[in-house]
Amino acid sequence: MDLRWHHFALWAAFIGGMLALPQFVSSGTLRTIIFANYLAIFAISWDILSGRTGYISFGHPFLIGIGAYTTAILTKRFDIAVEYAIPSAVLMTMVGGLILFLPALRIKGSYFALVTLAFMELIYQLVQVIRPDLTGGTRGMSGIPTLTLGARDGFYLSFSLMAAIALSMWLLMRTRLGTALSAIGMNEESVRGSGLSTTRLKLFAFLTGAFVAGLGGAFYVHYLGSIAPRALFDINFLFTILVAALIGGLSTVIGPMLGAFFLTFLLEYLRPYLPGAERYFIYGGIALLLYMYEPKGILHLFSRGLDRWRERVSS
Amino acid sequence: MSFLQIEKLDAFYGKALALSGVELSVEEGEIVAIVGPNGAGKSTLLDSILGLTTTNGDICLDGNSLIGTGSAAIVKCGVGYAPERCNLFPYMTVRENLLVGAFTSRENIDSNLELVFKLFPQLREREHQETSTQSGGERQMVSIGRALMTSPRLLLVDEPTIGLAPKICLEIAEVLRRLCKQFGTTIVITEQNTNFAMTLAERLYVLETGEIKASGTVDEMRNDARLTEAYFGT
């Protein structure tokens, strides 16, 4: 593993700075950051599952939804304590990850993406018709127990969760395992030719991705206190996750985080000027430009700038 | 029985028959070349040894059958595969490319890396460079290097000289020869360049439309009409 002290110093500075943030910013901004934190969790998990292995999943809300619905139903309908409900939700999401993994044994590329899109649509229809007394049907659920009161606590919880996930995934992906997962996305046959079981590697990626998605989905629902199927199993939500990972920088952990914060704040600041769906044109345009000129994402933009600065300093 | 023994091998891509009735044997410490034109089935033959195709027939390494064991186990048995150089991981550094090859032979990572860098000193300088930015020759070296990271007893190299300058071809030939002499690695290469194959290998097999058309030592083959026939037709 290639670890340097300054990496940890950067992490410590980032975490320390963020934890001090509530002293300086309004609770409105904090609520925006809370959403950014959850989006970052979803984008990180999507990147582990899809960004690295190249098995582009359009079904991420499927996984998040399983986590969210499981814990919502358990706590609200069966009065089960959150301490048990959230782990069960994560386990159920990993089962969902297994289901998503089945098509990945056979198909790849755009076909895989379409099948996973069908998964999302399927669960959207299912929660509305099967046992609406449990799922709340089309209207969803409200009055789900929340874990925190107020923006400040919500911020601390969501940020700690995000930072813990990001740091552990960052460490995990810096092992050769992470390298092998990225290698699958570039040339799966060659990975097999090097004597690795790509099936096992992919299974690992799907389960880890589902684990993180389930964790994020469950905590998110306990932050919102409600669940709305139309907002959850929604193309816009799906694309926000994908675009966050894409414009941040695929096959990294920091990239999706950066992308999530960038997108959330962009959408939020555009809100006063463009209250409707027009905002999505702007963000689509930015994503397009970035993708044309720097397909490796914002993270790469930063590291290139850093390199240039270093050159100028040394010369 | 030979070190590598292939008997009555048929290979398929789906339903299409790509190899039929291939018989081939390689002794330990030998360099053997499989020559033939495009589409003859050379790469398919290497893929089949590695368990990447559907096959009938038998492939034995050192007396153990490799059929049905799966590529991961085959690599662990000591088969290293250097595919054509376009099969690297382009957005990874040289080092990362090499490390992906190191999963089956974890205890030897450091010594294997050292060996690769000793054989290809150029790669040591470019250790942290992305392979997408490298020349064809360097990428070929990375491909062979990645195969060496698996600590192979049998090294399969697919078209090592395709599209490379004559000088680089000689360099690569020298490294393969050294691997064979110094480390006793058995080597099977595929080639279209028969001259290169004849200077490197001790024995040749001529493969055409999925069948072995001729085989023999380099001296026997040098004046064999079947070799030219395989390329130019009659």
Domain range enclosing B44:
1-76+186-234
Question: Residue B59: which of B69, B68, B49 has the closest Cα?
Answer: B49
Residue B197 in any domain: the answer is yes
pLDDT digits (tens, 9 = 90+) for A120-176: 999 999 999 988 889 988 899 999 999 988 899 999 999 999 999 999 999 999 998
- pLDDT digits 0-9 by tens, A183-205: 999 999 899 989 899 999 999 99
Are A30 and A151 spatial neighbours (Cβ–Cβ below 8 Å)?
A: yes
Which tens digit of pLDDT belongs to each residue from B174-196? 999 999 999 999 999 999 988 89
- Structure confidence at residue B234 (pLDDT): 46
A300 found inside a domain? no
Interface check A63 vs B, CB under 8 A: no
User: pLDDT tens digits, residue range B81-98?
Assistant: 999 888 999 989 999 999
Identify the pLDDT of residue B233: 53
Binding-face residues of A in 267-286 toward B, CB within 8 A = none
Asked if the structure places residue B119 within a domain, the reply is: no
What torsion, rounded to 10 degrees, do the Cα atoms A159, A162, A165, A168 define?
A: -60
Residues 6+ positions from A122 with CB-CB distance below 8 Å? A62
Query: CB–CB of A176 and B102 under 8 A?
Result: yes
Any domain includes A170: yes
Distance from CA of A193 to the nearest CA of B (A): 6
Is residue A285 in some structural domain?
A: no
Return the CATH number at B198: 3.40.50.300
- Out of A182-191, B205-214, B222-231, which region has the weakest mean confidence (pLDDT)? B222-231
| Angstrom distance (rounded) from CA A209 to CA A41 | 10
**For A161-187, how does the pLDDT look when each residue is reduced to its tens digit (9 = 90+)?**
999 999 999 999 999 899 999 999 999
- Position B109 confidence tier, pLDDT thresholds 50, 70, 90: very high
The tokens describing A290, both together, are 């970035």
Residue at B95 is within a domain: no
Q: How many CB atoms lie within 10 A of CB A230?
A: 12
Give the C-alpha distances (Å, rounded to integers) separating A240 from A40, A61, A129, B66. Answer: 10, 11, 27, 47
Residue showing tokens 């790669």: B123
B110-128 mean pLDDT: 95
Helix axes A60-78, A235-248, angle to 10 degrees: 120
Listed residue (A231, A233, A269) closest to A36, CA to CA: A269
pLDDT for B231 equals 66
Q: Is B156 on the interface with A (CB under 8 A)?
A: no
A266-289 tens-digit pLDDT: 888 888 888 777 887 887 888 888
**Among residues B215, B227, B220, which one has the least CA distance to residue B32?**
B215
Look at residue B232 in the predicted model and tell me its pLDDT: 60
What residue in A sits closest to B75 (Cα-Cα)? A195
The span from the CA of B167 to the CA of B154, in Å, is 25
Q: Is residue A304 part of a domain?
A: no
Q: For residue A27, which of A134, A139, A154, A205 has the smallest C-alpha distance?
A: A154
What's the confidence (pLDDT) of residue B72? Answer: 92
- Give the full edge-to-edge strand order of the sheet including B64-65: B16-26, B4-13, B54-61, B64-65
CA end-to-end distance (rounded Å), chain A: 32
Helices A235-248 and A298-314: angle between axes, nearest 10 degrees: 20
- Quick one: average pLDDT of B211-233? 80
Residue whose entry in the numeric block shows the structure tokens 């159920």: A92
Total domain count for chain A? 1
**Cβ of residue A190 closer than 8 Å to a chain B Cβ:** yes
* Mean pLDDT for all residues in chain B: 91
Preferred mutation among A2, A175, A188, A190 to probe B, highest tally of B CBs within 10 A: A190
Q: What is the pLDDT of residue B46?
A: 95
**B109 and chain A: CB distance < 8 Å anywhere?**
no
The total of structural domains in chain B comes to: 1
Q: How far is CA B105 from the centre of its chain?
A: 19
Local confidence band at A1 (pLDDT 50, 70, 90 cut-offs): low
Q: What is the percent of chain B with per-residue pLDDT over 90, rounded to a whole number?
A: 78
Range of the domain at A59: 27-233
